[in-house]
Each structure stands twice: as structure tokens, then as C-alpha cells.
Amino acid sequence: MSQTPTTTSRRELHARPDQEGQVTRLVIMGPQGAGKGTQAARLAEVFGIVPISTGDIFRANIAGKTELGQTAQEYTNKGELVPDEVTNAMVRDRLGQPDVKDGFILDGYPRNAAQVTELDQILADLGWELDGVIELTADRDELLARIAKRAEQEGREDDTEEAIARRLDIYAEQTAPLTSAYAERNLLVQVDGLGEIADVTERIVSSLATQLG
């Protein structure tokens, strides 16, 4: 990509400057190609929290040929969602690990209504609440162009044309509607994912600060 990532510290961004040391728990949503993974990593750095990508966990398990990986691969290759009971158990396990207690940003989960309910339950069991849900928006043509570029650069095995189209459809049908549930809870921040990587990060951080306090 022609975009140049720059390091943006929390101090530079004046992100929630009055809440230094506060535990931040975020979800980032957005269709494939919107820059979710990149922004999740940058926000993790800004807020000093752990990025948790369910897609990355599945890919690591597939590469490591674990039992979980073998199950997941059947679905990821087609662009279908891995069954909820598999994904939910994996997320529950990950959120229970010690490094997560200082905060996290979930990337790629929840992706359907049942997962929203499960995430609520996992967080309630841990005595936690979400601080914000970020939705990165971008139009389909822009997304397809970005994904084609990434597939060329990274050669991701699950990025076939059919799988990509299927993922975008599933996002529109199952994941995008979830944002209204979070909007009703006053947790949702919608940010345009188009533009320079650093600019998008700043937009997200300032929207979080103004909308969520």
C-alpha cells in the first residue's frame, strides 16, 4: 500500500488524557479490506491494550495444523463463518488470559447476533463492560481494490475471489446490522476508513474521546 504508517503515541493524540492508566475495552468492526487489522494494532499501541484478532488466531492454528485449525480451515477457505461454538469457546479462553486484564481491542468478533450475546456473557462473567465499538466504513469498490492489492502483497491463502465476495456479503447481512444494537447502548463510533492510515487512527481516537467521554 502507498499509505505510510507512522507511530502515534497516546500522548500526541491527547486521547482521553485525563484517564491515563484506565483499562480500555474495545471492539472494532468493518468489512474485509477496511483496514480493521491495521487500525486495531495501532489502537492497541495508543491505548496500551492487547489486540485480539479471531482471524489471526484461526490462521495461526491453521498454519500450526492444530485440531482447531483443521476445523476452522474448512470454513475460512470458503469465506464462511466458523461455527459459533468453536469461535465463542476460543474467544472466552483468550479473554481469560492474564495479558487481557489491562484492556483489549477485539478485531473480527463479534460477527453475528449470537456472538454479541456470548460476548456480553463472557464480559459479565469477568465483571467487565465494553467502552466502545468502532465501525470502520468503506464502499465495496474501494474494498475490492484494497483486498486485491493485499492478496498480491501477502498472498493470503484464504483470499480467493469467491471467499472475499462471500465475506463481504456475510458482513453486510450479519455483521453490519449488529452496530445498531451497540448504537442503542451508546457505544458505537462510526469512522470513515478511507485515507491515510495515521489520519484514520486519529479520527478514531478523537471520535472515541468525544463520543464516549
Q: Which residues bind ligand AMP (CB under 6 A)?
A: 32, 54-55, 58, 75-76, 79-82, 87, 108-109, 111, 115, 167
Please indicate if the annotation marks 115 as binding a ligand. Answer: yes
How many Cα atoms sit within 13 Å of 45 on the Cβ side? 15
Q: Is 146 a catalytic residue?
A: no
**DSSP helix, strand, coil percent of the chain (3-state; round to 5):** 60, 10, 30
| Cβ 95 to ligand AMP shortest distance, Å | 13
Q: Catalytic one among 16, 94, 111, 203?
A: 111
Beta pairing class for 103-107 and 132-137: unpaired
Please indicate if the annotation marks 69 as binding a ligand. Answer: no
Please indicate if the annotation marks 156 as binding a ligand. Answer: yes
Say whether 151 sits in a helix, a strand or coil. helix
Q: Would you say 11 or 149 has its CB closer to ligand AMP? A: 149
Please indicate if the annotation marks 54 as binding a ligand. Answer: yes
Please indicate if the annotation marks 37 as binding a ligand. Answer: yes
Q: Would you say 160 or 190 has its CB closer to ligand AMP? A: 160
Stated length of the chain: 213
Q: How many CB atoms lie within 10 A of CB 3?
A: 13
Q: Would you say 15 or 171 has its CB closer to ligand AMP? A: 171
Q: Is 36 a catalytic residue?
A: yes
Q: Is residue 190 within a helix (H) or strand (E), and if so which, with residue range?
A: strand 188-192
Q: Is 167 a catalytic residue?
A: yes
Q: How many CB atoms lie within 10 A of CB 170?
A: 18
Q: Would you say 168 or 188 has its CB closer to ligand AMP? A: 168
CA distances from 133 to 26, 58, 61, 127 (A): 6, 22, 27, 18
Q: Catalytic one among 16, 36, 42, 94?
A: 36
Cα–Cα–Cα angle for 52, 145, 189, rounded to 5 degrees? 45
Q: Is 150 a catalytic residue?
A: yes
The annotation places the binding site at 33-38, 54, 59, 80-82, 108-111, 115, 150, 156, 167, 195
The annotation places the binding site for AMP at 54, 59, 80-82, 108-111, 115, 156, 167
The annotation places the binding site for ATP at 33-38, 150, 195
Tell me which residues are annotated as active site: 36, 111, 150, 156, 167
